[in-house]
Amino acid sequence: MEKTTRREFLKRSAQYGMSLWLVAHSWSPAYSQNEKLNIGIIACGGRGWGNIDGVSTENIVAICDVDENPLGEAAKRFPRAYKYVDFRQMLDERHHEIDAVVVSTPDHTHAVAAMAAMQLGKHVYCEKPLTHSVYEARKLAEAAKRYKVVTQMGNNGHASDGLRRSVEILRSGAIGAIREVHSSTDRPIWPQGIDRPTDTPPVPRTLHWDLWLGPAPERPYHPAYHPFNWRGWWDFGTGALGDMGCHILDTAFWALELGAPVSVEAEGEPHHRETGPKWSIIRYEFPARKGMPPVTLYWYDGGKLPPKELAPEIDIHPNATLFIGEKGRAWVPHGGEPVLLPRDKFADYRPPEPTIPRAPRGHHQEWIDACKGRGKAMSDFEYAAKLTEMVLLGNVAFRTGHKIYYDARRMKVTNCAEAEKYIRREYRKGWSL
């Protein structure tokens, strides 16, 4: 594979954007049983630390963060790794030395970073939600297939025994046909429903603010955005639903093979142009699928919970899902073991034999093993893009203020033209897929 120079790369990215990174011949080496991957890290702070820990069995050869504070901390741990503040430069200069990339940036940069790596033939692990928009999710799934790379989204609970056992139990028909699902989270634990700050404090000397903005619209730096609190701002994050939906809705999406909803409606307060709501309740409607009946799925955040009368015998708390079946109910705490209700009816219940491969070494190692040709990464971009699309449509419904009707084949909301700008966002000049 011909190596591009940094000058050539920067000239191309400035003139045309990142879409010109396409490398004519992707290269995917074979690995011996004990050989380690050479991994590049894109974003070291926040979730980056946990993801670094998850892949620390491998060779960390390059590290990148737009904030030099977490970059410096990572450099202490990996003193031989190349250091960068711009992931584009890292990939341009080190792509011959990198086999795989871990993306832990804020949501708005997931797609451009993951796409750039895949276009260079690199395997990718990307934090959840997979992308900032529905369109981006579709494009990443297409790219993963085109470039034949191994991918995994960072909804770590997908690899847990409890979640996989829950999927098997629900699919076995233990509680009968399921027509109703209720999921909740304790998020947001960051500010939402607030106005854009008007003061303009100086940019910290360690922070490369323009690179942090990436494809997002330009605005002055403020600590209300970085670190962590970007999650609540629509330009950067995806709110409580986007932050936790790919975790908590994963069981229902997988077990019931939900796919895309046909309609979504949302309520919440306040309805704000800049940030997500302080609370919301989202209602998704799914059609009949593969012999399974239509499903109504409810999402609750910001202190809202499913009605107590749905399961009076348990303490309904956030970060869990309640399945309502024709023969019973299942209460599934996030990452935990399912509880079948009523308890006396299922006192002697024995779960079915496992049908889903287990991941005893965890979510990151499942991806690493798959990169080396051993097994499959179960939350690959083919799966994760569809889950992310479903989740993000809840935000589309909330932001339009309408019940939306969705044509998944056309990736289009059919009754609200305003929805298009939330399905597919615009990018700042110099950034694109």
Q: At what angle do helices 6-16 and 87-94 cross, to 10 degrees?
A: 140
Structure confidence at residue 22 (pLDDT): 38
What global pTM score does this model have?
0.93
| pLDDT range class, residue 33, cuts 50, 70, 90 | low
Q: Max Cα separation, the chain?
A: 70
pLDDT at 160 over 50: yes
The more confident residue out of 2 and 352 is 352
Average pLDDT rounded to a whole number, residues 100-117: 99
Over residues 208-244, the pLDDT tens digits come to: 999 999 999 999 999 999 999 999 999 999 999 999 9
pLDDT at 268 over 50: yes
Q: How many CB atoms lie within 10 A of CB 403?
A: 14
Structure confidence at residue 270 (pLDDT): 87
Average pLDDT rounded to a whole number, residues 363-388: 98
Over residues 278-287, the pLDDT tens digits come to: 999 999 999 9
Over residues 182-218, the pLDDT tens digits come to: 999 999 999 999 999 999 999 999 999 999 999 999 9
| pLDDT range class, residue 335, cuts 50, 70, 90 | confident
Structure confidence at residue 9 (pLDDT): 44
Structure confidence at residue 31 (pLDDT): 61
Q: How many CB atoms lie within 10 A of CB 261?
A: 24
Residue intervals in the chain for CATH 3.40.50.720: 6-157
Q: Are 41 and 117 in contact (CB under 8 A)?
A: no
User: Residue 233 to residues 186, 193, 336, 380, 385: CA-CA distances in angstroms?
Assistant: 18, 9, 30, 27, 22
Contacts made by residues 228-232, CB under 8 angstroms, sequence distance 24+: 228/46, 228/190, 229/190, 229/191, 230/106, 230/107, 230/108, 231/106, 231/107, 231/188, 231/190, 232/188, 232/190, 232/191, 232/192, 232/194, 232/275, 232/276
Over residues 134-153, the pLDDT tens digits come to: 999 999 999 999 999 999 99
Average pLDDT rounded to a whole number, residues 85-93: 99
Structure confidence at residue 4 (pLDDT): 43
> What mean pLDDT value characterizes the chain?
94
- Give alpha helix (H) positions in 39-173: 47-54, 68-77, 87-94, 107-119, 134-147, 161-171
pLDDT at 25 over 80: no
Residue type for 341, please?
A: L
User: Residue 208 to residues 19, 64, 353: CA-CA distances in angstroms?
Assistant: 22, 12, 52
Average pLDDT rounded to a whole number, residues 49-57: 98
Residue type for 275, please?
A: T
Structure confidence at residue 21 (pLDDT): 37
Q: Which CATH class is domain 158-192+227-355+382-423?
A: alpha beta
Q: Identify the CATH homologous superfamily for domain 6-157.
A: NAD(P)-binding Rossmann-like Domain (3.40.50.720)
Share of the chain above pLDDT 90, in %: 91
pLDDT at 393 over 90: yes
